[in-house]
């Protein structure tokens, strides 16, 4: 795998430095735990105030709902992860509220409360997780439109619903999970609109049965929603979010082509997740296109190693595999790191982790096939719909940028149109933009490439000053 | 004589149907894999694309070979300063000529490349720097570059967004800034229209000369024969010159660039300082683009990276001259690669070893503004044997012939 020397020649490759983990979600916490168990206390960094990551995000101080209310069927796992973290927190170098905004060979750049700091590293585990993948729809910038993840965070950490009558639209397990969570919390549901037909899901039943517990949970969410009389539509495509100044409805086309409308005052939408992999890119890790998920992801092997010596990846930041797989991958990457440092690791544990990871893979592949990304919906976004919210670039402007004599890949389309040049640096619009460009060029989506990342990976206050 | 060839995996993916070999204009070329032309231009930055345009406009057959996409190196990623003020006096006649072309870009290329003749305000932050402004005003007068010196009170009255550290300014009303991402592609489009063949993803890996002229071979198997050769390969122009026995002390220069999220649009001039440790402009959308210091670059791997520590050093320097930046958020940093000569001015002119070869490279961090005129000058050199714009100071012989000619 090719990498380049600018990114990979680590001046601290032999230094006696503690391993550094970025991300304190399921992957990062389990990695920290495994390193500490081997007597190597890591530095664990997260921009959030508490450990837990996205799925097991803790409530802000003062909120006191119990784990069962917060995490439902996942309460046991959430509690286990929080307990595991609490047990090691005092013995590791835990740095919450700290953004890693840049990576150079052997060097992380941190920002916390206006102070910038350089942290030298020898070994690095990136466990940076994922974010929602969205498809821009007419009206998606109206107040009241949330990503599925955003709607879930509102519910989980602040105990607020995003509306009185919420329409859920998208595909993937999170769509159903979130609708279930809203129903349990007593929220009104206008409709659950899954862009995947039920037949597509049924076809994956054998693969999904490899994790019968997960399948059963998923089915129980669907069944519970149906029993509660929630309007459920599968194989339908959203057409527009309606409303003046705020969300008032959702228009969609059902599987038979009939246009329908649901009255709602909020919309939660999302089509799976995409890896948050900018730090991996800055660290010099090569990327690959995952055709099952239609995502670009940094390339790692099953042990968490990458082409860059000393840089390991774990969890959804290296390809969406879910929280359980993230825990396994975190521990596995830590063991690889220990081995590469010449430490003995428990062969039984290693084999067990690999076995469990392998077993989850069949389920993951079935899940990917059961909830495919509706790329034609993204590619067909009407010309007047805004694709890039930060820079207010419409699908039509993007198409104009690739028309004859124009751009032939996504970075050049960005240069011509300003798409992806704003505050989020294309993290939100890139998946849909790539589909639009590919369709316009008649090229496979992987051929139009991906937006290149640069520091800062998230906005950095210009008031940041180096600590002496 | 071969450059390092990059492996397939290192290249940007090219959609099959957009493969340059299958480009409609070049389909016959792909079939034979060989073309012969009058002038071959290597390098599709601002200088090379402008040269192709000027040559094609004279009805002469010209082919431009570009390793990546036109404008994918320095010309496409620079700060966007279109500035005459502060240049080496020898560059001023070229800069004056280029400024005239900048003013007519829409007419020439169909795009104004977002050129805004906003004026360029160069700032002094102490008495010593102010003395430099005064001294340069004398130089500028000799080259018909109108400058207006502004004292402390007046500069703050006229530009109220400036911080108290500023003690004086020198204003060049004629200067401005533009969108670097647009220039080379716009010139290339115009050149194509005028009849030039612009071939992207065509890295020249072998060059030779025989009695008929030059032969260039690209990594993807294209062979181009030409009577004249124009070297506008930017930093890599040094390696091409070396092929013909003209080794020059060129180094890679990678200015560190930063952009903020949109802020209220108040800085309506292009700002610089004496000494150049920070420079800053704002676009109408509100983003502030600024630079200062240098990143790192590996011109073999074709990678350039901004340096976080340098970004952190530039932040207070920028906030010192424009305090509103203290509350901004930085959303991206980047850099690019230009060729830097020891005397900080480019190599422009005929080869001293090889008839029919012309160089224009090594613009030392300030060739974006010059690009349009460089193409015009190269067109004259190649087709007429001389240019009306004085270029003696840029002779490659100053490095290869031992002492200045
Ligand atoms: C919004 C959202 C909601 C989800 N809800 C569910 C759900 O209900 N059920 C389910 O099974 N799965 C859910 N998932 C998926 C689940 O979160 C992941 O499968 C799981 O969290 C992966 O664990 P991880 O450790 O890889 O990453 P995460 O849990 O995402 O942890 C990554 C951590 O890295 C930190 N981080 C990232 N970049 C930086 C940086 N530059 N500097 C410092 N820190 C950084 C983040 O703050 C975060 O805490 C959700 C995902 C998202 C994005
Ligand atoms: C970050 C940065 C900021 C700058 N800011 C400013 C500014 O504000 N104002 C200003 O006036 N100037 C500025 N400059 C300088 C300016 O950008 C350059 O001087 C100018 O663009 C050089 O143009 P060029 O055509 O010589 O080179 P380039 O734009 O580098 O073009 C050379 C081309 O040759 C191609 N090439 C090289 N080797 C081969 C080969 N073997 N085969 C085929 N093709 C080849 C390359 O791919 C490249 O596209 C800046 C430069 C940088 C890097």
Q: What is the pLDDT of residues A280-291, one digit of tens each?
A: 999 999 999 999
Report the run of H or E that residue A268 belongs to, with start and end. strand A266-271
- Nearest CA-CA distance, residue B63 and chain A, Å: 17
A197 close to B (CB below 8 A): no
Q: Render A300-314 in DSSP notation, one character per residue.
A: --TTSB-SSTTEEE-
Whether A322 has a pLDDT exceeding 80, the answer reads: yes
Measured between CA atoms, the residue of chain A closest to residue B288 is A462
B221 close to A (CB below 8 A): no
Ligand 2, atom 19: nearest CA belongs to which residue? B367
Question: What letter does residue B153 receive in the DSSP assignment?
Answer: H
pLDDT over 90 percentage in chain A: 86
Task: Write phi, then psi, for A16 (nearest 5 degrees).
Answer: -90, 80
- Nearest CA-CA distance, residue B166 and chain A, Å: 20
Instruction: Compute the distance from residue A56 Cα to the ligand 1 centre, in Å.
Output: 8
What pTM was computed for the model? 0.93
Distance CA A436, CA A421 (A): 17
The bound ligand whose nearest atom lies closest to the alpha carbon of A182 is 1
Q: Where in chain B is the domain with CATH 3.50.50.60?
A: 31-116+174-249+342-405
* Average pLDDT estimate for A180-191: 93
Ligand 1 pocket mutation, candidates A130, A152, A431, criterion most atoms within 8 A of CB:
A130
Whether B32 has a pLDDT exceeding 70, the answer reads: no
Considering only residues 155 to 184 of chain A, which have any Cβ-Cβ distance to chain B shorter than 8 Å? none
Give the pLDDT of residue B6.
Answer: 37
Instruction: Compute the distance from residue A53 Cα to the ligand 1 centre, in Å.
Output: 5
Residue A245 backbone class (left: φ over 0; alpha: ψ -120 to 50; beta: rest): left
Give the pLDDT of residue A467.
Answer: 79
Mutate to test the interface with A, among B7, B258, B312 (most CBs of A within 10 A): B312
Residue A8: pLDDT band (50, 70, 90) is low
- Nearest CA-CA distance, residue A290 and chain B, Å: 16
Whether A118 has a pLDDT exceeding 60, the answer reads: yes
Contacts of A144 (CB under 8 A, 6+ apart): A162, A163, A243, A246, A247, A265, A266, A267
Question: What letter does residue B167 receive in the DSSP assignment?
Answer: -
Query: Closest by alpha carbon to B334, among B149, B181, B171, B169?
Result: B181
Query: Hey, are the CB atoms on B13 and A422 less than 8 Å from each other?
Result: no
Give the pLDDT of residue A6.
Answer: 63
Question: What letter does residue B326 receive in the DSSP assignment?
Answer: G
CB neighbour burial string for B214-226, b if at least 16 within 10 angstroms, e if fewer: bbbbbbbebebbb
Question: What letter does residue A286 receive in the DSSP assignment?
Answer: -
Q: Is the dihedral of CA A294, A296, A299, A302 positive or negative?
A: negative
Query: Closest by alpha carbon to B188, among B302, B76, B354?
Result: B76
A449 close to B (CB below 8 A): yes
Whether B12 has a pLDDT exceeding 50, the answer reads: no
Say what the alpha-carbon torsion angle A335, A341, A342, A346 is, to the nearest 10 degrees: -10
Better pLDDT: A376 or A405: A376
Looking at ligand 2, which atom is closest to the CA of residue B302? 47
Ligand 1 pocket mutation, candidates A53, A172, A180, criterion most atoms within 8 A of CB:
A53
Q: How far apart are the first and last CA of chain B?
A: 29
Residue B21: pLDDT band (50, 70, 90) is very low
Query: Closest by alpha carbon to B356, among B336, B381, B338?
Result: B381
Whether B3 has a pLDDT exceeding 50, the answer reads: no
Looking at ligand 2, which atom is closest to the CA of residue B75? 21
β-strands B168-172, B148-150 pairing: antiparallel
Query: Closest by alpha carbon to A105, among A89, A90, A125, A120?
Result: A120
pLDDT over 90 percentage in chain B: 89
Q: Are B336 and B74 in contact (CB under 8 A)?
A: yes
- Nearest CA-CA distance, residue A402 and chain B, Å: 11
Question: In this structure, which topology does domain B31-116+174-249+342-405 adopt according to CATH?
Answer: FAD/NAD(P)-binding domain (3.50.50)
Where does ligand 2 bind, in terms of residues with CB under 6 Å?
B 3, 42-48, 65-68, 72-75, 77-81, 203-204, 232-234, 236, 255, 257, 335-338, 361, 363, 365-369, 371
CATH of B120-173+255-335, one of 3.10.129.10, 3.30.420.40, 3.30.9.10, 3.50.50.60: 3.30.9.10
Which residues of B are less than 8 Å from A105 in CB distance? none
User: How many other C-beta atoms lie within 10 A of the C-beta of residue A466?
Assistant: 15
Query: Closest by alpha carbon to B14, among B276, B193, B202, B198?
Result: B202
Convert the pLDDT of each residue in B86-145 to its tens digit: 999 999 999 999 999 999 999 999 999 999 999 999 999 999 999 999 999 999 999 999
* Average pLDDT estimate for B52-66: 98
**Among B26-30, B240-244, B321-325, which stretch is predicted with the lowest mean pLDDT?**
B26-30
**Among A414-423, B16-25, B150-159, which stretch is predicted with the lowest mean pLDDT?**
B16-25
Convert the pLDDT of each residue in B202-246 to its tens digit: 999 999 999 999 999 999 999 999 999 999 999 999 999 999 999
* Average pLDDT estimate for A185-199: 95
Instruction: Compute the distance from residue B39 Cα to the ligand 2 centre, in Å.
Output: 21
Give the pLDDT of residue A415.
Answer: 95
Considering only residues 348 to 377 of chain B, which have any Cβ-Cβ distance to chain A shorter than 8 Å? none
**What is the rounded average pLDDT for all residues in chain A?**
93
B137 close to A (CB below 8 A): no
Instruction: Compute the distance from residue A272 Cα to the ligand 1 centre, in Å.
Output: 12
Give the pLDDT of residue B110.
Answer: 96
> ∠ CA(B333), CA(B338), CA(B340), 5° rounding?
125
Distance CA B366, CA B368 (A): 6
* Average pLDDT estimate for A250-263: 96
Residue A7: pLDDT band (50, 70, 90) is low
Mutate to test the interface with A, among B201, B305, B325 (most CBs of A within 10 A): B305
Distance CA A327, CA A49 (A): 20
Better pLDDT: B31 or A197: A197
**Among A397-411, B224-238, B365-379, which stretch is predicted with the lowest mean pLDDT?**
A397-411
Give the pLDDT of residue A89.
Answer: 96
Whether A434 has a pLDDT exceeding 50, the answer reads: yes
* A46 C-beta closer than 6 A to ligand 1: yes
Chain pair A-B, CB pairs under 8 angstroms: 117
Query: Closest by alpha carbon to B369, among B180, B237, B233, B181?
Result: B180
Q: Are A41 and A97 in contact (CB under 8 A)?
A: no
Q: What is the SS3 assignment for B155?
A: helix
The answer to whether the complex's ipTM is over 0.90 is yes
Ligand 1 pocket mutation, candidates A20, A23, A153, criterion most atoms within 8 A of CB:
A23
Instruction: Compute the distance from residue A297 Cα to the ligand 2 centre, in Å.
Output: 31
A459 close to B (CB below 8 A): yes
Q: Are B24 and B192 in contact (CB under 8 A)?
A: no
Residue B15: pLDDT band (50, 70, 90) is very low
Picking from B76, B189, B318, the nearest residue to A405 by CB comes out as: B189
Q: Where in chain B is the domain with CATH 3.30.9.10?
A: 120-173+255-335
Picking from B17, B260, B316, the nearest residue to A465 by CB comes out as: B316
């Amino acid at each position: 795998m090719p990498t380049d020397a600018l990114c990979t020649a680590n001046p601290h490759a032999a230094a006696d430095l503690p391993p550094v983990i970025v991300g304190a979600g399921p992957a990062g916490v389990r990695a920290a735990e495994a390193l500490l168990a081997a007597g190597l206390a890591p530095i664990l960094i997260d921009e959030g105030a508490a450990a837990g990551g996205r799925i097991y995000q803790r409530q802000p101080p003062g909120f006191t709902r119990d784990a069962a209310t917060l995490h439902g069927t996942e309460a046991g796992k959430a509690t286990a992860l929080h307990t595991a973290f609490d047990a090691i927190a005092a013995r590791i170098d835990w740095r919450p509220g700290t953004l890693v905004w840049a990576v150079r060979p052997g060097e992380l750049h941190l920002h916390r409360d206006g102070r910038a700091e350089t942290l030298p590293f020898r070994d690095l585990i990136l466990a940076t997780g994922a974010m929602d993948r969205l498809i821009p729809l007419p009206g998606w910038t109206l107040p009241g439109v949330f990503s599925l993840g955003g709607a879930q965070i509102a519910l989980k950490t602040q105990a607020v619903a995003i509306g009185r009558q919420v329409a859920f639209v998208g595909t993937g397990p999170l769509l159903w999970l979130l609708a279930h969570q809203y129903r349990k919390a007593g929220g009104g549901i206008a409709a659950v609109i899954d862009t995947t037909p039920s037949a597509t899901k049924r076809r994956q039943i054998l693969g999904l049965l490899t994790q019968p517990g997960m399948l059963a949970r998923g089915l129980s969410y669907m069944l519970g929603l149906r029993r509660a009389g929630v309007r459920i539509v599968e194989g339908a495509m959203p057409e527009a979010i309606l409303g003046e100044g705020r969300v008032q409805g959702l228009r969609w086309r059902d599987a038979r082509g009939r246009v329908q409308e649901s009255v709602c005052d909020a919309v939660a939408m999302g089509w799976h997740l995409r890896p948050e992999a900018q730090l991996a890119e800055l660290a010099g890790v090569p990327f690959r296109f995952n055709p099952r998920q239609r995502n670009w992801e940094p390339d790692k092997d099953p042990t968490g190693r990458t082409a860059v010596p000393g840089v390991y990846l774990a969890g959804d930041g290296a390809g969406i595999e879910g929280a359980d797989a993230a825990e396994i991958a975190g521990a596995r990457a830590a063991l690889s790191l220990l081995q590469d440092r010449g430490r003995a690791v428990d062969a039984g544990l290693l084999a067990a982790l690999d076995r469990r990871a392998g077993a989850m893979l069949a389920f993951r592949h079935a899940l990917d096939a059961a909830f495919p990304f509706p790329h034609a919906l993204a590619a067909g976004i009407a010309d007047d719909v805004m694709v890039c919210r930060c820079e207010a670039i419409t699908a039509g402007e993007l198409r104009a940028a690739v028309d004859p004599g124009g751009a032939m890949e996504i970075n050049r389309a960005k240069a011509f149109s300003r798409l992806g040049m704003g505050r989020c640096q294309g993290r939100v619009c890139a998946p849909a933009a790539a589909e639009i460009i590919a369709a316009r060029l008649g090229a496979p989506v992987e051929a139009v490439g991906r937006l290149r990342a640069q520091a800062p990976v998230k906005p950095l206050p210009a008031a940041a000053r180096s600590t002496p | 004589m071969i450059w390092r060839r990059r492996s397939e995996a290192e290249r940007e993916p090219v959609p099959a149907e957009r493969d340059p070999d299958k480009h409609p204009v070049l389909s016959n070329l792909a079939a034979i894999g060989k073309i012969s032309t009058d002038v071959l231009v290597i390098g599709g930055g601002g200088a090379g694309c402008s040269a192709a345009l000027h040559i094609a406009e004279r009805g002469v057959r010209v082919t431009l070979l570009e390793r990546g996409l036109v404008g994918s190196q320095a010309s496409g990623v620079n700060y966007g300063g279109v500035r005459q003020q502060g240049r080496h006096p020898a560059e001023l006649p070229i800069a004056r000529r280029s400024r005239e072309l900048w003013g007519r870009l829409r007419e020439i290329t169909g795009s104004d490349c977002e050129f805004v003749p906003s004026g360029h305000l160069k700032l002094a932050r102490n008495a010593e720097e102010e003395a430099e402004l005064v001294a340069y005003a004398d130089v500028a007068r000799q080259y018909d570059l109108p400058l207006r010196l502004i004292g402390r009170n007046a500069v703050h009255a006229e530009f109220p967004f400036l911080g108290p550290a500023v003690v004086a300014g020198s204003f060049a009303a004629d200067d401005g800034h533009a969108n670097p991402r647009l220039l080379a592609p716009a010139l290339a489009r115009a050149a194509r229209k005028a009849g030039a063949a612009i071939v992207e993803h065509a890295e020249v890996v072998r060059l030779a000369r025989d009695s008929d002229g030059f032969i260039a071979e690209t990594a993807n198997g294209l062979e181009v024969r030409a009577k004249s050769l124009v070297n506008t390969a930017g930093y890599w122009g040094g390696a091409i010159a070396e092929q013909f026995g003209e080794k020059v002390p060129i180094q890679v220069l990678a200015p560190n660039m930063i952009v903020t999220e949109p802020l209220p649009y108040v800085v309506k001039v292009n700002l610089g300082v004496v000494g150049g440790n920070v420079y800053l402009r704002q676009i109408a959308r509100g983003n502030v683009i600024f630079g200062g210091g240098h990143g790192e670059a590996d011109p073999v791997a074709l990678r350039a990276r901004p340096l976080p520590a340098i970004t952190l050093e530039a932040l207070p320097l920028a906030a010192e001259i424009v305090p509103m930046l203290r509350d901004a958020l930085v959303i991206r940093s980047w850099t690019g690669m230009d060729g830097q000569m020891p005397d900080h001015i480019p190599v422009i002119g005929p080869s001293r070893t090889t008839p029919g070869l012309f160089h224009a490279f090594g613009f030392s961090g300030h060739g974006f503004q010059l690009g349009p005129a460089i193409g015009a000058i190269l067109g004259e050199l190649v087709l007429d044997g001389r240019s009306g714009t004085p270029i003696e100071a840029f002779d490659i012989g100053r490095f290869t012939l031992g002492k200045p000619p």
